[in-house]
Structure 1
Amino acid sequence: MAAFPLPPGSTIGVLGGGQLGRMLAEAASRLGFDVVVLERDADSPAGRVAVRTLVGAYDDPEALKALAEAADVVTYEFENVPAASLDALASLGVEVAPGPKALSAAQDRVDEKTFLGAHGVATVAFAGASTPAEAAAAVAKIGVPCLMKTRREGYDGKGQRWVEHVADAEAVFAALGGRPVIVEAPADFVRELSVIAARGRDGAIVAYPLAENHHEDGILRRTLAPAKASPALSEQAERIAAKVLAGLEYVGVVGIELFELTDGRLLVNEIAPRVHNTGHWTQDGCEVDQFEQHVRAVAGWPLAPARAIAQVEMLNLLGAEVDAWPKFAAEPESRLHLYGKREAKPGRKMGHVNRVKPLR
């Protein structure tokens, strides 16, 4: 195992070669680290800015062995990495951060909400189900309308469907692939918020200002940050983040999606054990962005300030929307971040724009 803090010149391994891995590699490079990416695609967005790409499946024993030999610490850019891969890396003598406890909690929606409840963090009412009959019973217990989601995997609105009638429960279960599901009560929320926070190896915690998020068809379209929020609401979000980070013995940056209710309470929707789309605004709106903060944490460096220095509207560029890059590049207030993906498919995140205004 490496000794922390890691000095510049050390190597950080990243499981996953998408845009989050790319931006992590860029941040790591600024701090003097090398990055090695393990990715199935030899021509990935992260791989093109990393020192080296190891081509292989995330659970390939030889690829994991090569990653362990090359890296002083390993992190991941998305939560659908096999948990066994983290165990394999640990057995090969390299630490992974965030650790397996965070990954396992985030990979299963029932486990996630159970963990949150056990640590005093509120969520919507929920019930798990593994068979058609259990799905019908869960819907009857939670009430309709309710949301049925696969317990594992699924993102950007995939793997979930609304159930309007108890009689539809078994059909919806089948439509989701007959896999184990979670049934969730709807949240009567005013708006969707998120808090990006980090925990260092010394247990120190910092939280970025709240962000307000707007989705379309389950995909994040726009983030406004810092969100208009009372000190009490911001403090409530920070307390939630602290409970989650401490409970998971976390090292790194976490994204926590929140519902703000009419009475001012916050419910946690989901935890993402990684840097997060709703934190992209920090690249141009904060003293230190979420990507450098994550690198600092996993490398054992002191955490940096998370203060906002500007008001930001972050816009995701999906599919062919990226073709408007000349327009955004010409806007004085816009900062363009493109991911280098070769093909613009409908709904695919190709980049984002941060529109920057003076902090109010």
Structure 2
Amino acid sequence: PVGQIGELVAARYDDETALTRFLKDVDVVTYEFESIPLAAVEFVAARVPVYPPVEALAVAQDRLLEKQLFQKLGIPVPPFAAINSRDDLSKAEREVGFPCVLKTRRFGYDGKGQVVLRGAADVDGAWATLGGVPLILEKFVTFEREVSAIGARDQSGNEVHYPVSENHHHEGILRRTVAPAPKLPAALAVLAMEYNRRILKELHYVGVLALELFQAGGALLANEMAPRVHNSGHWTIEGSETSQFQNHLRAITGLPLGPTAMKGEVVMLNVIGMTPPLAECLSVQGAHLHLYGKAPTERRKVGHVTLVADSLEALGEREKAIASLLQTNGTPPLSHP
């Protein structure tokens, strides 16, 4: 979309001539997803400031480095082990225990690049599917809810944090985010923001950072971090005084961060693999429809709807109306608060 308002340079990431042409008129560079060759980002960072910093991207690209960072900062994680061979997997399955999840260390998103192992009978199949690249084995976590802690840090080290939100997935894809997270104990919400704060400080971070965590009983376990604006924070466009997008841009350009107070109870529903009925969606009170200009294909996020209301009761009624318009084959009805 940004190509519609600025000069667009389309080339391979390793095309240094194109990168140099791209850099001739820019003062600062940011990125919107993690699947970028690190060498290209390092090339850019040697010439202009890149935010979030290269170190944050390097960690987020590798699930093992990510888990090790969390451990270093005292952020709890499920048991895990690095897997580089079939023998490593045999040893780790005994140490980590079943059920567990075998994941590629790099380039996994929306449930891709991972296989759940329920028992020993699943190991050979999982290895056949994923073996050949660096892997990580993690204990499967039975959790009560997944939450996102989203914060922003500017170039002077000032921070703002958004209320912790609750996420609901289906088939590995985020379907729904509610903010603030209903029934999340206040102490855990504070703890989630503290964990985010530790990462921001450790990485000398600039920009928006999303941290996904599992609530398991009275504890929070870190799942993964995203060094960018995040799908689970899209609700902030209408639901917060300053959106995650605006605070990200403020942070990387040296402007003051904006307040993150909420404007009400908020739910965001992703539009996946379909063209939503525009008039019907917009007829629901408090509904804000965002379409990304993408052709609908199976499992593809093509937009989202955000609802804002003064109470959970009102929000629930409006969500039921929107959810009925967004159903696709294989997608269960979305719950409401």
Provide the TM-score with structure 1 as the length reference: 0.84
Q: Where in structure 1 are there 5+ consecutive unaligned residues?
A: 1-44
> Matches of 2:134 and 2:122 in 1, distance apart?
16
SS of the counterpart of 2:276? helix
Q: Which residue of 2 aligns with 1:249?
A: 204
Query: How far did residue 336 of structure 1 move?
Result: 0.5
Deviations 1:80-120 (A, max 9, x none): 111111210123x2110001110010000000000110111
Q: Which residue in the other structure is 2:330 paired with?
A: none
Q: Tell me by how many angstroms 1:156 deviates.
A: 0.3
Question: Is contact 2:150–2:193 with CA below 8 Å preserved after alignment?
Answer: no
CA contact under 8 A between 1:223 and 1:313: conserved in structure 2?
A: yes
Is 1:100 the equivalent of 2:54? yes
Query: In the alignment, which residue of structure 2 is the partner of 1:52?
Result: 7
- Structure 1, residues 220-244: CA drift from partner, whole Å, max 9, x if none? 0001111123331221111101101
Deviation at 1:359, TM superposition (A): 5.5
Kept in 2, the 8 Å contact 1:133–1:170? The answer is no
C-alpha separation in 1, matches of 2:83 and 2:120: 14
Map 1:156-305 onto structure 2 (within 5 A).
156-228=110-182, 229-262=184-217, 264-305=218-259
- Listed as ranges, the gaps of 5+ residues in structure 2 are 313-337
Count the aligned residue pairs.
311
When residues 163 and 329 of structure 1 are mapped into structure 2, their CA distance, relative to the original with a 3 A threshold, is same
Identity level (%): 43
Cα distance in 1 for residues equivalent to 2:98 and 2:216? 19
Deviations 1:275-319 (A, max 9, x none): 000001111110000000000001111111111112111000011
Cα distance in 2 for partners of 1:180, 1:89 equals 27
Trace 1:77-88 onto structure 2 (pairs within 5 A): 77-88=32-43
Counterpart of 2:334 in structure 1 is none
Give the corresponding residue for 1:35: none
Q: Does 1:130 align with 2:102?
A: no
The answer on whether the counterparts of 2:208 and 2:248 sit within 8 Å (CA) in structure 1 is: yes
Matched position secondary structure for 1:254? strand
- Alpha-carbon offset, residue 167 of structure 1: 4.7
Residue in structure 2 matching 1:334, options 287, 301, 326 = 287
TM-score (norm 2): 0.89
Q: Aligned to 1:84, what secondary structure does the other structure show?
A: helix
Q: d(CA) in 2 for partners of 1:223 and 1:79?
A: 21
TM superposition shift of 1:122: 0.9
Alignment of 1:110-121 (within 5 A): 110-121=64-75
Counterpart of 1:20 in structure 2 is: none
Aligned residue type for 1:46:
V
Amino acid at match of 2:198: K
Q: Secondary structure at the match of 1:196?
A: strand
What aligned pairs does 1:15-30 form with structure 2 within 5 A after superposition?
Answer: none
SS in 1 for 2:156: coil
